[in-house]
């Protein structure tokens, strides 16, 4: 039962953080949602910092699975699957990216973990771009691949924040669809002549 209560606290905290942001989620609200006393929550997590740390551990474990590099020749469909896994991960822990400045100020480890995640993601995008070029799906010059990869990482991680600044309000699912479409549209000009129609068709699938 102890483990079950701890897991319920973490699941509920993640949902509340994603909905209200970590700064806007007091521990009393978490306890109310889990239907336990504040003292019971304090027994499992003495400070909210410990909840954030535990969720960050979960994020790292999930991220390691998503960021596993491809080992052989791939198609655009393999990239599409990776993209969906990535966007599902980002949506599942979206409070980390939405509250980045506040979280980093309060919890320095968040900045370190997300900084490493961003660098690894950019490198992984570059690997996918080079693999897709080698297999004939794309035609990206070696010098352009790191730049395009960095742009894809920025789109994947921070498009939602840009939309918020622009006054665009959307659900997490809508955001994920918009981001997927944006990434695929970035790749359209680099598509090989005989595969461009397929990439274009995938991108069109995400158009509103």
CB 109 within 8 A of CB 60: no
pLDDT in tens, 71-130: 878 889 999 999 999 999 999 999 998 888 889 999 999 999 999 999 999 999 999 999
Report d(CA 134, CA 132) in Å as an integer.
5
CATH topology of domain 1-46: Arc Repressor Mutant, subunit A (1.10.10)
3-class state of residue 36 by DSSP: coil
User: In this predicted structure, what is the pLDDT of residue 208?
Assistant: 58
Domain ranges of the chain: 1-46, 53-204
Which pair of tokens denotes residue 32?
Answer: 């109310």
Q: In Å, what is the CA distance from 75 to each residue of 58, 61, 189, 197?
A: 30, 26, 17, 14
Place of tokens 């978490």: 30
User: In this predicted structure, what is the pLDDT of residue 1?
Assistant: 41
Place of tokens 């309000």: 169
pLDDT in tens, 12-55: 999 999 999 999 999 999 999 999 999 999 999 999 999 999 99
Which pair of tokens denotes residue 171?
Answer: 């659900």
CA 25 to centroid of chain Cα atoms: 21
Q: Which residue has the higher pLDDT, 202 or 32?
A: 32
3-class state of residue 195 by DSSP: coil
CB 83 within 8 A of CB 110: no
With a cut of 80, say whether residue 206 has pLDDT above it: no
Hey, how many other C-beta atoms are within 10 angstroms of the C-beta on 3?
Answer: 8
pTM flag (> 0.85):
yes
With a cut of 80, say whether residue 57 has pLDDT above it: yes
- The alpha helices in the chain, defined as continuous H runs, are 2-20, 27-34, 38-44, 48-66, 76-92, 94-98, 100-106, 108-134, 145-165, 172-187, 196-204
φ, ψ of residue 171 to 5 degrees: the values are -75, 165
Domain 53-204: top CATH class: mainly alpha
Report d(CA 99, CA 106) in Å as an integer.
11
User: In this predicted structure, what is the pLDDT of residue 120?
Assistant: 97
């Amino acid at each position: 039962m102890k483990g079950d209560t701890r897991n319920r606290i973490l699941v509920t905290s993640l949902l509340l953080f994603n909905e209200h942001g970590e700064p806007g989620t007091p521990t009393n609200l978490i306890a109310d949602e889990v239907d336990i006393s504040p003292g019971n929550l304090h027994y499992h997590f003495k400070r909210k910092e410990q909840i954030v740390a535990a969720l960050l551990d979960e994020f790292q474990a999930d991220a390691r699975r998503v960021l596993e590099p491809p080992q052989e020749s791939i198609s655009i469909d393999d990239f599409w699957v990776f993209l969906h896994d990535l966007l599902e991960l980002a949506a599942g822990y979206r409070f980390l990216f939405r509250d980045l400045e506040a979280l980093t100020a309060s919890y320095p480890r968040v900045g370190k973990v997300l900084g490493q995640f961003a660098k690894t993601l950019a490198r992984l995008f570059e690997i996918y771009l080079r693999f897709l070029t080698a297999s004939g799906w794309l035609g990206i010059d070696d010098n352009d691949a790191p730049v395009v990869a960095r742009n894809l990482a920025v789109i994947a991680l921070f498009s939602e924040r840009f939309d918020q600044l622009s006054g665009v309000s959307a659900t997490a699912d809508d955001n994920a669809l918009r981001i997927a479409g944006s990434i695929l549209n970035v790749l359209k000009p680099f598509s090989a002549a005989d595969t461009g129609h397929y990439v274009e068709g995938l991108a069109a699938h995400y158009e509103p």
